[in-house]
């Protein structure tokens, strides 16, 4: 069996930065360290912080006064920030710089009078934080094209529209949305900003380049089930690979899924720990030993 590993794998720079900030929190404070929601959408990465002593909570009222809180890398909702400060809580803001850049861009576009369309999951932490920065409610369009058609009437008569996307929105669906705008004769009224994170785009492009060689038999994607960027990788692989396996934990790998003469490509989401990637490689390699 031949095992290939993509160049862009494990933690992306933004997640690595957030994880380092979270780990450093234990050295800079004597108070309890809380995680306000999952730092990243990967249970293994969060579990490593919990083993260190972090306490995972989902609401501000679960955090005592004077504690230290590590926010999600996806961004912190404005109302939550204000509530934390009122309680005298020390905030370690791990918001990815690229996510923060999009927040500033959208705020500026709103001030310039644009109606904002956001492509993304309305329930995702990044989108919630982004929307909280705006004075007016934007239109949030998800991944389902039927949602786009249902929101079409809301765009009637609007001539100044700015379209941005969640930084981890699947590239293929972003392109589909642009095509939809053209079909509905709306593209002339829109300014489209490509706010997809380059790291997300690089991973998708690298995966596609491998698949275009025609030599890959199986793609194994390692990443959280709730990770948007991992889902983007899955969509690329699903549409172009002979066989795609998506696992959140290396222990999910089933040996019978592989054959000794296959070429296997391993890719990972941007919030997948390097250690998990190593464990996955070992698991798949061991299946080759079983065939000998």
Q: Give the start-to-end residue ranges of the domains of the chain.
A: 2-11+198-291, 13-92, 97-192
Over range 249-254, report the average pLDDT.
91
Tokens coding 113: 């009078």
Same topology between domain 2-11+198-291 and domain 13-92: no
Q: Are 7 and 236 in contact (CB under 8 A)?
A: no
Q: Residue 158: is its pLDDT beyond 90?
A: no
What is the architecture of the domain spanning 2-11+198-291?
Answer: 3-Layer(aba) Sandwich (3.40)
Q: Which residues are catalytic?
A: 126
In whole angstroms, what is the distance from residue 202 CA to residue 279 CA? 23
Over range 180-206, report the average pLDDT.
90
pLDDT digits (tens, 9 = 90+) for 100-147: 999 999 999 999 999 999 999 999 999 999 999 999 999 999 888 888
Percent of the chain scoring above 90 in pLDDT: 71
CATH (one of 3.90.1150.10, 1.20.1600.10, 3.40.640.10, 3.40.50.11270) for 13-92: 3.40.50.11270
pLDDT digits (tens, 9 = 90+) for 256-276: 788 889 999 999 999 999 999
Q: Residue 290: is its pLDDT beyond 80?
A: no
pLDDT score of 288: 62
Give phi and psi for 152, each to the nearest 5.
-60, -40
Task: Find tokens 């786009």 and name the residue.
Answer: 148
pLDDT digits (tens, 9 = 90+) for 57-107: 999 999 999 899 999 999 999 999 999 999 999 999 999 999 999 999 999
CATH (one of 3.30.360.10, 3.20.20.450, 3.40.1010.20, 3.40.50.460) for 97-192: 3.40.1010.20
């Amino acid at each position: 069996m031949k095992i290939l590993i993509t160049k862009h794998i494990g933690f992306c720079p933004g997640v690595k930065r957030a994880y380092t900030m979270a780990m450093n929190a234990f050295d800079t404070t004597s108070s309890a360290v809380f995680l306000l929601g999952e730092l990243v959408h990967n249970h293994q990465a969060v579990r490593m912080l919990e083993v260190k002593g972090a306490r995972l909570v989902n609401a501000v009222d679960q955090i005592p006064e004077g504690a230290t809180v590590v926010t999600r890398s996806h961004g912190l909702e404005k109302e939550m920030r204000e509530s934390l400060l009122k309680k005298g809580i020390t905030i370690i803001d791990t918001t990815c710089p690229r996510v923060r850049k999009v927040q500033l861009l959208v705020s500026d576009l709103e001030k310039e009078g644009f109606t904002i369309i956001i492509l993304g999951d309305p329930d995702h932490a990044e989108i919630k934080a982004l929307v909280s920065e705006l004075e007016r409610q934007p239109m949030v369009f998800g991944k389902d094209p039927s949602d786009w058609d249902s929101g079409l009437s809301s765009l009637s008569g609007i001539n100044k529209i700015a379209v941005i996307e969640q930084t981890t929105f699947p590239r293929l669906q972003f392109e589909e949305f642009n095509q939809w705008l053209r079909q509905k004769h709306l593209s002339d009224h829109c300014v489209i900003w490509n706010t997809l994170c380059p790291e997300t785009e690089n991973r998708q492009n690298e995966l596609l380049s491998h698949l275009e060689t025609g030599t890959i038999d199986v793609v194994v994607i390692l990443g959280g089930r709730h990770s948007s960027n991992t889902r983007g990788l899955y969509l690329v692989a699903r549409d172009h690979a002979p066989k795609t396996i998506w696992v959140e934990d290396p222990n999910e790998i089933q040996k019978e899924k592989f054959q000794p003469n296959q070429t296997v490509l391993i890719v990972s989401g941007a919030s997948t720990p390097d250690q998990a990637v190593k464990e996955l490689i070992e698991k798949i390699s061991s299946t080759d030993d079983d065939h000998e």
